[in-house]
Amino acid sequence: MPRPPSPSIPEKDFLYGALKQALRLDGRAPLEMRTPSLDFGPELGWVECALGKTRVLAQVDAKMVKPPPERPLEGIISIHSEISPMASSEYEPGRPSDEEVAITRMLDKVLRRSDVVDKESLCVLAGQRVWHLRLTLHCLADAGNMLDCACLAGVVALKHFRRPEVEVVGDEVTVHRPSERAPVPLSMHHTPFCFTFAYFPDPATPPVLDPSHLEQQLSAGLVSVALNAQRELCVVQKAGGVPLAADELLRVVDVAVGKAKELDKIVEARLKEDWLGRHVEVR
């Protein structure tokens, strides 16, 4: 699969020159994020998140399985994300590229290792039946910063999803259909959001939040910070790239803290809006 050509020298010079004057090509301020737009599907747990032209689709579904013997009291969460060439011709099917590994591992850290969903609440019958949640992420289009978009889509999908109500009488488990009993939301510990900052080779250039495709290609380093609105950091990832002074990194973390609060409000408002528009009938 032919790789898209690397940016031309005029593009590079123009971008660097503009960034030095704190101007971005799409008119945003350096620390301004693209407004996320969340579209919910007809089923619960289906959400398409778009950051500008970057689109990621997330879907959650649940089924009951027998838990592994070493963890009989916890549910299972598995995240499946494969970046197909549909997102961009840079990605090849089959062998995961460096970037893909980075995105998948980051998603795993943000959504699974930081304990977003309370796994013990997914246990139905200890040692026999637990819920297995499967979060599937499809990257539809890559216009820069697919990582943030994917994390947002995943978290919102988990918040949007409702699992069927289960009744346990002794050893008997009855799963009620959504039409009989209202489905139950997942019990979540916290809501992490991921923010990516791009740094450029010239130290005089300020970092930019939520880089576009061109900015990402021409960046000299990326810093990803995942945190929730309660000022708790979940993941900080800076691997190589431009070396930063210690206080510069802490400043970036502070910016992310502010953005997390804003984003939390937007997500809550959107989820409420969608929920009001749905009819959950109980016969």
- Contact residues for other proteins, defined by CB under 8 A: 96, 98, 101-102, 104-105, 108-109, 113-115, 190, 220-221, 223, 227, 231-246, 249-250, 253-254, 257
Nearer to other proteins among residue 37 and residue 187 (C-beta): 187
Nearer to other proteins among residue 176 and residue 238 (C-beta): 238
Nearest CA to 85 out of 75, 72, 94, 76 is that of 94
Amino acid identity, position 34: R
Q: Shortest gap between Cβ of 222 and other proteins (angstroms)?
A: 9
Backbone angles phi, psi at 156, to 5 degrees: -65, -35
| 162-163 vs 184-185, strand pairing mode | antiparallel
C-alpha–C-alpha distance, residues 202 and 220, integer Å: 9
Q: Shortest gap between Cβ of 100 and other proteins (angstroms)?
A: 10
- Altogether, the residues listed in the chain come to a count of 283
Whose tokens are 């993941």? That residue is 235
Nearer to other proteins among residue 98 and residue 172 (C-beta): 98
Q: Shortest gap between Cβ of 108 and other proteins (angstroms)?
A: 8
Nearer to other proteins among residue 47 and residue 222 (C-beta): 222
C-alpha–C-alpha distance, residues 96 and 89, integer Å: 13
Q: Shortest gap between Cβ of 114 and other proteins (angstroms)?
A: 5
